[in-house]
Chain A
Amino acid sequence: MATIYIDNVPYEVTAGKNLLEACLTLGFDLPYFCWHPAMGSIGACRQCAVKVYRDENDKTGKLFMSCMEQVRDNLHISIADMEAKEFRAHVIGWLMTNHPHDCAVCDEGGSCHLQDMTVMTGHNYRQYRFDKKTYVNQYLGPFLNHEMNRCIQCYRCVRYYKDYAGGKDLDVFAAHNHLYFGRHEDGVLESEFSGNLAEVCPTGVFTDKTLKQHYTRKWDLTTAPSVCHHCSLGCNIVAGERYGSLRNITNRYNGEVNGYFLCDRGRFGYEYVNSLSRIRKSLIRTQLPEATDKYKALQAAASAIKAGRVIGIGSPRASVESNFVLRTLVGENNFHHGVSDVEHDLAELALRILRTGAARTPSLKEVEKADAVFILGEDLTNTAPMLALAVRQSVRQQPLLEQVSKANIPVWQDAAVRALVQTEKGPLFIAASTNTKLDELATATFFDSPDAIARLGFAVAHFIHEESPNVNGLTEQEEALAQQIAMTLLAAENPLIISGTFSGSDRVLRASANIANALCAKEKAAGLVLTLPECNSMGLAMLGGHKLESAFEAVLNGYADTIVILENDLYRRAGTERVKQLFAAAKQVVVLDHLHHATTEQAHILLAAGAFAEADGTLVNNEGRAQRFYQVYPTTEDIQESWRWLFEIGTIVAHDQIIQWESFEDLQKAMAKEIPPLQGVLATAPPADFRMAGQKIPRAPHRFSGRTAMLANINVSEPKPPEDPDNPMTYTMEGYRGQPPSSMIPFFWAPGWNSAQATNKYQQEVGGPLRGGDPGVRLIEPDPIPEEIFSMAVPQNFQPLPDHLFILPLYHIFGSEELSAKSPAVAERIPKPYVAINSDDALRLKLEEGQSLSFSIEGIAYELPVKLNSTIPSGTAGLPIGLPAIAYTELPAWAILNKQIQWKQQHQTTF
């Protein structure tokens, strides 16, 4: 700690930080633009000037940029000094010389950092009396709008996009006051993290294009804390609504998880909630009209369940609560996981590895601090995007920590750090079946089949710890690489192993577990991150349940005749024929979901479930962190959370357990009692009767406008605001106006801070944890007495088969995930279907890029244009999984090449 004097008042601050961070942490309103807590200082905007005095006797002082000054003991500064204030106001004056002053029609207005800082400096009258210059704006794709005229040249966008996120297609062009921030030409921004520009940009140059389709000012949004449902990482988000439709997703800072950023799937994948294919009313197929009200639907579902022999099929994209109520309703023995059997086994294995293994799963924040990383079988950018961004930070920071202290440069002085470190990167090894976007950062890459990746992994484990099983028959290069990786991991302080379920191989998972255990046996603080398929795959695995195949057998064997399907499209989980058989055999199918799909078509009774923004619940992310998400806006009576439907059905059928519950919390308590590992869920959020100063927490800011007018076309009397029985939040602006507990921050706002930069005010220390601790409760910790060796089963090497291709799953950030793919902006970015084959194989098969390849997997015929790939191993092919246009099949799997069709196709093309 150090004592600094601000306007002659002593304060205790953390030594080593920069002065701007220290002042903001102390609560001072000091304006800034170019500094960003995640990106450090460069000293470009000159907005944060303060007076610095030589000592307590110096009365003149000199202006310094606080972001570039290190905190040191006995430092005397003044924020209130007239000259400093005048300079700061002039900086705004300069910045605004060419700004269009178009706040009224700017999307940023009302949540604009430039507006806030302008007001903060007191600059109000324009002194520049000459004309302004203008720019041509660019088309940047479906996610972001570009309006260069508003630019204040703070360089944050390029620093974020290029330096932080590794993007290549955004830059700063020209010089002096002709600077241009954009692409070299119009075009879709390539980075998977481009949406953060909307929050990084302090004004309205980069704004959310999806919000523009249904624009609402921040102050008119009803917002609630939520958790992203589009991958297993559980990034924290704020979801905003007006007039019953979801308007945007913004970042919700969680120091341990996503920090300041989100991926584009998380930010722009929300629009399916407003989709035309939403199920807005429950349906009973045996009656006409099919659409029905809540009560009839409840009765119909209840009688079906009462009458039948019922099994339940849960979902990895539904909350643990919804899954738990279904499990309770149908009975533990009749609860099946609504995922493919491969996925079921992999998720269970992952859970077992984390529970019995020696290594801890680090949070994303901790991943950024790893000093050596080994990725096995994962294309993180497409399967767990924010993890890829975190790995990028670890690679950037590792050399920095080593060199910067030597050169005596503070880590926050970003430009100096970049100049010193140059292109040097920390150790990163990637073993994957084909090239990934992170390869450019890798120390070494290894492209081969999942079995070969597992063998490499086992070999690495053996080199670290000789008791780990040895791998026979490795090539010399493989052996050398394994040794190199082992030595690098051993040399690191915090080595990190990343693997997961997306390769579809339990062997890869086992190999990763062996490496992590071996490192721990060598007393390294090793971390092990395992990605999981969906947002609540971990929660579902923790609940336990049978495989989907046993559900099929139960119905086909006549053990059961009624199926309750929770938020799930079974056609994405098992082969089409198999699912058809299931539905043909079932007497009653009750489906709860929010979007129409092939499975809802088969439902006899379809219950309209709330999407994530219309529901409360808990998700458990891949780290084992339980996180609460809150309902954003009230729905009509006809739409409600899946758990509420099942809870009410349980009450009607007088289920002996369910009938005892009265509230959401009773349900959670019953769950914690029955499944002790989920005990922590209770601690994720304050109870529904929680109050601050006797008041609830408002979802709308107190400037929310038009509440009395918005329904005046229907009724001029103001109805009582709807109440939320499940949590201590109101749907209006009434309630406590201070800061809520960290797990239920509906929006970041502080007096004078209307933009997302208000996050500073919610943190214990700028860039640190939220006040009261970062939200989420970790449910899984490593075994204190772990198995030293997880697996002895080293697989044989992959052997290609003649006339066959081993089809490996490939993932796409846009397209592979079910819900986001139904959002229009994301849908624009989904690639066209293809099959990727090795260039040498293509030569052998006489195929060129774009020609069709025909093959069959398990009797399903595919005919897809070929994409040549130089890294995918010979004898295998990559099939993009989950794309709307490609039929489901369980992967990896062998495919038989269909030669006739291929010949015919070629004939047709030449004809």
Chain B
Amino acid sequence: MEKPLTQHIVPSRKPLSLKEYEAVGGYASVRKILQELTPTEVQNLVKDSNLRGRGGAGFNTGLKWSFVPMGPDAPATKYLVANADEMEPGTFKDRVLLEGNPHQLIEGMIVAAYAIQANISYVFLRWAYKLAAKEITRAIAEAYEAGYLGKNIQGSGYNLEMHLHTGVGRYMCGEETALLNALEGKRANPRAKPPFPQVSGLYGKPTIVNNVETLCCLPHIINNGAEWFKGLSRSADAGTKLFGVSGRVKTPGCWELPMGTTIREILEDYAGGMQEGYLFRGLLPGGASTDFLVEEHLDLPMDYGSIQAAGSRMGTGTMIILDDQTCPVGFVHNLQHFFAQESCGFCTPCRDGLPWVERLLLAIDKGEGRPEDMLALEFHTKYLGPGNTFCALAPGAMEPLQSALKYFREDFEQHIVEHHCPWSTVWQPSI
């Protein structure tokens, strides 16, 4: 089984230096595109490979690039940004790539920047990824020294500057337009789309924001071709995918597997199944902002289409497992606390709706819930949907809640009727 993205990552070892990376074939794709391919050919190759954005939305990467104005009339300045602000609860796949092989990311960024003819690129990194920051800084310096970055790269006449920007720790910055505002030094509020960043992005110039894992796929697609990339997959969606599992499983972790590997395989073969004494109740397939899946879904292949058909989203592909000894209400409350806190405060439903949801769940969890609270939770899941809020944060927050209300409804009702949390060992009298 091929694992192109993680083949050179050994957790116990420092990441490859530029020399070592070159020795195993690193930066070959850069030389190839600069010598053999036009930007349009790179775009088409990536489009053909059916690479879909690994940040969660799953949009075709080549197609996304094709909206960038090209040619002599296009603005002189364009930007490429690597979205390394990985803050989705339960998600740690980009961290593996960032800490394990930063040169692979830089190589992918050069490919992407070349494809859209951007001359300035940024890595927008989550502040807490201190080790990654150190490794990327070193890798960028090495790449400059070796002539993969800077002016006239490898004698091709193509220029690309690269900068590392570490955020200040807002989940909101993972949203590409909020990321751009933050990069400009403004509040990390999202921007309305249209206009899309491809037309008016960073500093009002055409910009592509791609996820780290997406960018890391690029060198391999360039080197091995679109058909090879599609062949890696076990489903309609091409390539491999970094899947992760957290929760009470025997060996939580992150593995590069073919797209379309079933949930059961990931859970049982790689994560080792549930820990002794814990039973599986459900899982969030792709981070905190995806709908719960339950027992009946375990044989679904992990790809964009299959998970969507089951009413959830593959998202980042990193699952969080809910076991039978964790209170689903408390579980969801914990998530809502995060989302309420990370709302940027720009639009009303998210800013004022999420704290309300959080308070309701806290009350229910503490045994202070009232029957009408279920209605209040339901109208939030209805009206905090996509389109009603300014960006996808609140709709994402509603996904685990609405599915929890569907699959674990009796648990919520039990809290309200019995005035205490059945999982709580301490008796909490209602106030």
Contacts and interface: CB of A to CB of B under 8 A. Distances in A.
Contacts of B388: 46, 49, 63, 87
A738 to B, nearest CB: 35
B203 interface: yes
Contacts of A420: 195, 200, 204
A176 B187 CA distance: 12
Contacts of A419: 181, 191, 195, 200, 204
Nearest to A175: B345
B181 to A, nearest CB: 8
Given A68-B192, A127-B376, A422 B204 contact: yes
B348 A421 contact: no
Contacts of B172: 175
Contact of B342 (A44, A62, A176, A178): A176
A97 B192 contact: no
A217 B203 CA distance: 46
Contacts of A176: 340-345, 351, 354-355
Contacts of A68: 192
Interface in A31-47: 42-47
A179 interface: yes
Contacts of A49: 388
Contacts of A152: 348
B192 A408 contact: no
Contact of B348 (A47, A64, A174): A47
Interface stretch (A88-96, A473-481, A533-541): A88-96
A170 to B, nearest CB: 14
A97 B356 contact: yes
Max chain A C-beta neighbours (<10 A), residue from B351, B355, B379 = B351
A129 B376 CA distance: 11
Contacts of A407: 195, 199-200
Interface in B330-356: 340-349, 351-356
A175 B200 CA distance: 25
B383 interface: yes
Given A44-B348, A47-B348, A94-B349, A130 B359 contact: yes
A91 B351 CA distance: 11
A409 B195 contact: yes
B340 A172 contact: no
Nearest to A43: B192
Given A43-B390, A87-B383, A90-B379, A415 B191 contact: yes
Nearest to B380: A90
A44 B344 contact: no
A408 B194 CA distance: 9
A322 B352 CA distance: 57
Nearest to A90: B383
A44 B390 contact: yes
B387 interface: yes
B176 to A, nearest CB: 13
Contacts of B195: 407-409, 416, 419-420
Interface in A469-493: none
Interface in B370-393: 370, 376, 379, 383, 387-390
A57 B122 CA distance: 47
Given A172-B187, A409-B194, A46 B349 contact: yes
Interface string A41-65: 0111111010000000000001110
B200 A94 contact: no
A703 to B, nearest CB: 30
A47 B340 CA distance: 20
Contacts of B170: 175
A732 interface: no
B209 to A, nearest CB: 14
Interface in A393-413: 403, 407-409, 413
A43 B172 CA distance: 17
A177 B191 contact: no
Contact of A42 (B192, B203, B383): B192
A569 to B, nearest CB: 50
Nearest to B180: A419
Interface in B275-302: none
Contact of A64 (B343, B355, B387): B387
A416 B345 contact: no
A2 B140 CA distance: 54
A177 B347 contact: no
Nearest to A176: B343
Interface in A57-115: 62-64, 68, 86-87, 90-91, 94-95, 97-98
A258 interface: no
Contacts of A42: 192
A240 B347 CA distance: 36
B352 A175 contact: no
Given A94-B353, A97-B356, A416-B192, A177 B345 contact: yes
A735 to B, nearest CB: 40
A44 B347 contact: yes
Interface string A654-685: 00000000000000000000000000000000
Contacts of A64: 387
Interface string B62-93: 00000000000000000000000000000000
A46 B389 contact: yes
Max chain B C-beta neighbours (<10 A), residue from A46, A47, A49, A422 = A46
Nearest to A409: B195
Contacts of B379: 90
A153 interface: yes
A98 B354 CA distance: 13
Interface string A125-136: 001111000000
B174 to A, nearest CB: 15
Nearest to B372: A127
A159 to B, nearest CB: 12
Contacts of B340: 176-177
B348 A153 contact: yes
A416 B199 CA distance: 11
B355 to A, nearest CB: 5
Given A177-B355, A407-B195, A407-B199, A421 B204 contact: yes
A46 B352 contact: no
Nearest to A95: B348
A480 to B, nearest CB: 27
Contact of A153 (B345, B355, B376): B345
Contacts of B345: 153, 174-179
A415 B190 CA distance: 10
A63 B348 contact: no
Nearest to A96: B352
Contact of B352 (A86, A95, A174, A415): A95
Contacts of B341: 176
A46 B342 CA distance: 19
Contacts of A415: 191-192
Interface in B23-69: none
A153 B356 CA distance: 16
A68 B354 CA distance: 23
Interface in A141-179: 152-153, 155, 172, 174-179
26 contacts: A42-B192, A43-B347, A43-B390, A44-B346, A46-B349, A47-B348, A63-B387, A64-B387, A68-B192, A90-B379, A91-B349, A97-B355, A130-B363, A152-B348, A172-B187, A176-B340, A176-B343, A179-B351, A407-B195, A407-B199, A415-B191, A416-B191, A416-B192, A420-B195, A421-B204, A422-B203
Interface of A: 42-47, 49, 62-64, 68, 86-87, 90-91, 94-95, 97-98, 127-130, 152-153, 155, 172, 174-179, 403, 407-409, 413, 415-416, 419-422
Interface of B: 170, 172, 181, 187, 191-192, 194-195, 199-200, 203-204, 340-349, 351-356, 359, 363, 370, 376, 379, 383, 387-390
Given A94-B348, A420-B200, A422-B203, 12 more contacts: A42-B192, A47-B348, A62-B387, A90-B349, A98-B352, A129-B370, A176-B341, A176-B345, A177-B351, A407-B195, A413-B192, A415-B192
CB-based closest 3 A-B pairs: A94-B352, A420-B204, A176-B343
